[in-house]
Structure 1
């Protein structure tokens, strides 16, 4: 939660447990704070996680996100560090079903940028601190209350913080959202997911983020900096800590066949279940929501963190205008406008997940339809615009 005389926001962390995917929204909180500080407001982030206690998780930064972060002095570092992948493909083993090229998009960033969330957070934090921002951590918020003039948060150690507004960017199990009485409507996919960062050699095509379909389910393979790859796959029951043998079986049964990929090392891994939920409202009085506190969905398409950062930039800019004397109704417009955007993204991610996890009997027809669609330039362009986020300009 970022707090100051001007504005407050919570970033609350809970440990991962099997069966509940606790996606963290730290980049969302950092971005909101960065926007506000850059515009002259005082902000403090309250973070329940100790410094450095972070792993990769989200790894995709899309074109629109890079555009939105550009005025705040972060994009250059991200672009220099990340892996530029100019193509996304949907494949059935070695067969390309749908190629989605980004290199023709009208943007300075015609690619998907692959970079660990830890790096993204580090660059956001460095810029925030450069501008005078600070983070209280580890510090846990236990209660939130608002009145006509502001919001009060009580920390676990008894500290009381007061601010004009509070932005809940504290993830799917948001305390801020719960205490504001905002519903979180949706459900949970049947499949569990496994995630791992690995070192590979062999048959994975270069310069692509690849969504592999197979009778056993989907697997996503994407390059990361330092020669690593991100693996995400659906499984009936994921292990708590996937090892080399487990990830190798995933690639052997779902990945490239002509030249198999060989897993040399698992750097880090975890398991999670995927929810699809959207907050009933993004605002209750002086409490506002952004990121996973407002929407969660399948990782298919890599939209989660990107949509959250987009929330953060829009909310930070809008809240700044209100704090400088603009009408309070601007915040209502933020809340009303962002929810349909989330609905659109959730639908896209759900469609991709449904296609990828289709039952065995339906897969030949699915592949045939996708292969035909993939030959149509308009279909490829539309997917490129949707996945890059440029359709939300």
Structure 2
């Protein structure tokens, strides 16, 4: 039987951040993941200001900045007309922008840091069961291995085995629309340094630059194809975008459905949750991965304190602090998603109201603060 202080299940951005944060403080950590390698089809591409701030302490922020694209603006448009212009450049942070970078790159840089600190990921390792007692947790894996840990953290995504084994509820639902996602090569009026959200009569489309010259495109589509073609993405941009954009290639694509759920608690004794195991929501506003990374840093602080002899109640404080933030993010992204998927007859009215809101500076400043994550400091 292997023993460790903290067993982390799931080596996505949340699990990797938690591992690096704990290793930095000398905590004995075991990090496992069910996938055979780090390849994934995850959709996250935006790292916000607050996440860049919290990753400073594990020395990952500077590495991300070298490989990402800085976007100091977020624009909501009706074709070529700007309805709301959100400017991050005036925010009180060293990172007044959204950093656009593929999640695979973020994970690679986090894993490099974990390894520098003496850790690694054990994979493939599939969790089968978790049982706990007064002094620790026993995790059993499908290969017959067992691990004994003082604490177990579920960072294993929406279908978390850790959460299910702990008996923690995951209330919420899903949206009726399917979404298409594509990384594509574009020519014409494509944004080089801002995220554009087009709210057209036909529906929403997000277009954002990526560091390799691709553009990330996300759109709600009824019966979205599993692998979007060049012609399909071109049709979306022609119907919903500003015009003047040509799709020359689709380098990767997928479809997905969106859920909105928050775990009933982030703690059940010595079992804790973080990231998508604790909350899932619409990608509108680019909050998902950011929320998970910020969970990880907060949980690491609590675990380091408790393992060092601090009050066990600090772990309750982690749950009590982070869960309401997830509820706020779910509410914000739900509003954005429902506005984006209004029935066609109501969309012109929505666009007029947005244009009015976009001319109220306190409203756009408040939105910038929330989208950047700085409101959750």
Structure 1 residue 53 displacement after superposition: 2.2
Native 8 Å contact 1:278 1:343 kept in 2: yes
Match of 1:202 among 185, 188, 194: 188
Alpha-carbon RMSD across the aligned residues, in angstroms, is 1.1
User: 1:71 aligns to what?
Assistant: 57
Out of 334, 345, 357, the residue aligned to residue 350 of structure 1 is: 334
Instruction: Tell me the residue number matched to 1:315.
Output: 299
Structure 2: runs of 5 or more not aligned: none
Task: Indicate the residue corresponding to 2:15 in structure 1.
Answer: 29
Cα deviation 1:94-124 (Å, max 9, x = unaligned): 1100000001111110100000000000000
1:380 corresponds in structure 2 to 364
Partner of 1:283 in structure 2? 267
The 5-angstrom pairing of residues 183-194 of structure 1 reads 183-194=169-180
- Equivalent residue number for residue 253 of structure 1: 239
Please tell me whether the aligned partners of residues 204 and 256 of structure 1 are also in contact (alpha carbons under 8 angstroms).
no
For 1:88, what is the secondary structure of its paired residue?
Answer: strand
Residues 4 and 42 of structure 1 are in contact (CA less than 8 Å); yes or no, is this contact kept in structure 2?
A: no
Identify the match of residue 123 of structure 2 among 107, 124, 137. 137
| Whole-Å separation in 1 of the counterparts to 2:32 and 2:138 | 13
Other structure's SS at 2:148 match: strand
Q: TM-score, normalised by structure 1?
A: 0.94
CA distance in 1, matches of 2:106, 2:35: 16
Which residue of 2 is the match for residue 176 of structure 1? 162
User: Are the structure 2 counterparts of residues 339 and 56 from structure 1 closer, same or farther at C-alpha, using a change threshold of 3 Å?
Assistant: closer
Q: Is 1:267 aligned to residue 251 of structure 2?
A: yes
Task: Give the whole-Å Cα distance in 2 for the aligned partners of 1:56 and 1:119.
Answer: 11
Separation in 2, partners of 1:56, 1:192 = 16
Matched, 1:328 2:312: yes
How far apart are residue 205 of structure 1 and its match? Answer: 3.1
Q: Quick check: 2:78–2:351 contact (8 Å CA) kept in 1?
A: yes
Cα distance in 1 for residues equivalent to 2:270 and 2:257? 32
Q: For the residues of structure 2 that align with 1:61 and 1:332, how far apart are their CA atoms? A: 27
Conservation of the 8 A alpha-carbon contact between 1:34 and 1:124: yes
Name the CA shift for 1:387/1:316 in 2 (closer, same or farther; >3 Å): same
TM-aligned CA deviation for residue 9 of structure 1: 1.5
Find out whether 1:300 has 2:284 as its counterpart: yes
CA deviations on 1:184-242 (whole Å, 9 max, x unpaired) are 00011010011111111111233110111112111100000111110110001111111
- The offset of 1:55, in angstroms, is 4.0
1:9 equivalent in alignment to 2:8: yes
**Structure 1 residues 336, 52: CA separation in 2 closer, same or farther (over 3 Å shift)?**
closer
Structure 2 residue aligned with 1:21: none
**Corresponding residue for 1:390?**
374
Structure-2 separation of matches of 1:212 and 1:157: 48
**Using the alignment, how far apart are the partners of 1:304 and 1:85 within structure 2?**
18
**Deviation per residue, 1:141-171 (Å, 9 max, x gap):** 1111111111111111111111000010000
8 Å Cα contact 1:38-1:72 kept in structure 2: yes
Q: Is the 1:43–1:134 contact (alpha carbons within 8 Å) kept by the matching residues of 2?
A: no
In structure 1, distance between residues paired with 2:38 and 2:291: 24
Distance in 2 (CA, whole Å) between partners of 1:201 and 1:225 is 15
Measure, in 1, the Cα distance between the counterparts of 2:247 and 2:173.
34
For 1:19, the equivalent position in structure 2 comes to none
**Which consecutive residues of structure 1, in runs of 5 or more, have no partner in the other structure?**
12-24
Q: What's the secondary structure of 2:304's corresponding residue?
A: helix
- Counterparts of 1:206 and 1:376 in 2: how far apart (Å)? 26
Q: Distance in 2 between matches of 1:64 and 1:342?
A: 15
C-alpha deviation, 1:52, in angstroms: 4.1
Q: Which residue of 1 aligns with 2:343?
A: 359
1:13-47 CA distance string (max 9 Å, x none): xxxxxxxxxxxx71000001111000110111111
Once the two structures are TM-superposed, the CA of residue 4 in structure 1 deviates from its matched residue by 5.2
- 1:14 alignment partner in structure 2: none
Shift of 1:284: 0.3
Cα distance between partner residues in 2 of 1:61 and 1:330: 27
Q: Which moved more, 1:58-67 or 1:135-144?
A: 135-144
Matched, 1:53 2:52: no
1:39 pairs with one of 3, 25, 31: 25
